[in-house]
Structure 1
Amino acid sequence: MSDHASVHPKLELTDSQWRAKLTPAEYRVLRQAGTEPAFVGEYTDTKTEGVYRCRACNAELFRSDSKFESHCGWPSFFTPLAGDAVIERVDDSLGMRRVEVLCANCGSHLGHVFSGEGYPTPTDQRYCINSISLVLVPKAA
């Protein structure tokens, strides 16, 4: 985990530009670190092959072959697409210590990563990501 005190994204927009680009629900999660309700997200149970991109900036984040069923209510991945696709930082909000996951390209909030939960994955990590933070680009036939 890289604990960055601040995020230095490649794509930087003003708050008013983000508000114009995103829906209110997208803005709440991506720019204000909100969380969508469990088990209602578009990609929670999706099995489609492809690449998951950041909804805010279209950067590639996760591949479908790293997605797994965690039954937690949000899409779960065991690793990002590349080591530099996401930024991880300590999140002490809500009275608990978690690790927040952000898009390295635009600094948008994606979700959190958890370790040591005993999931049968190659990394023993669960990237718990809000569906509303993602866009799935299906694999070409």
Structure 2
Amino acid sequence: MTAQKGKDMLVKLHNGSIYETVAGLRAKQLAFNEESVDITDSESSGRWRELLGGAGVRRCGLTGSGLFKDQASDETVRSAFFAGSLIEAQIIIPDFGSLTGPFLMTALEYSGQHNGEVTFDLTLESAGAISFGAVS
């Protein structure tokens, strides 16, 4: 696999009828985590920590920042946050695949300098099973 352009990583939110690309995102970061379940006891070999595989809670988190460019996607982002409800999201990673599932928008921040554009930051947290589809 060759190097990929960061601009080709897309974040799409379902607006009720289609997946709509969140316009204006300049930076995106996707993270996967799994909690560990410690099962160490006084008889653990050499007093080394022992973890129970497959028992922790998994999560997927996405952060993004950018500027508003498209009224329709701006409204989708704003509505998702203020509704406080789960929204279907699709994250496309070029030459890798796509991730789809329910997310909750846990943060939406706006900022701007007097001599610059208004920007936004958003955070999405997985709220259920995430499915992966490989690029074919």
TM-score by length of structure 2 reads: 0.32
Higher strand share: 2
Q: Which has the larger radius of gyration?
A: 2
> Which structure is higher in RCO with an 8 Å CA cutoff and minimum separation 6?
1
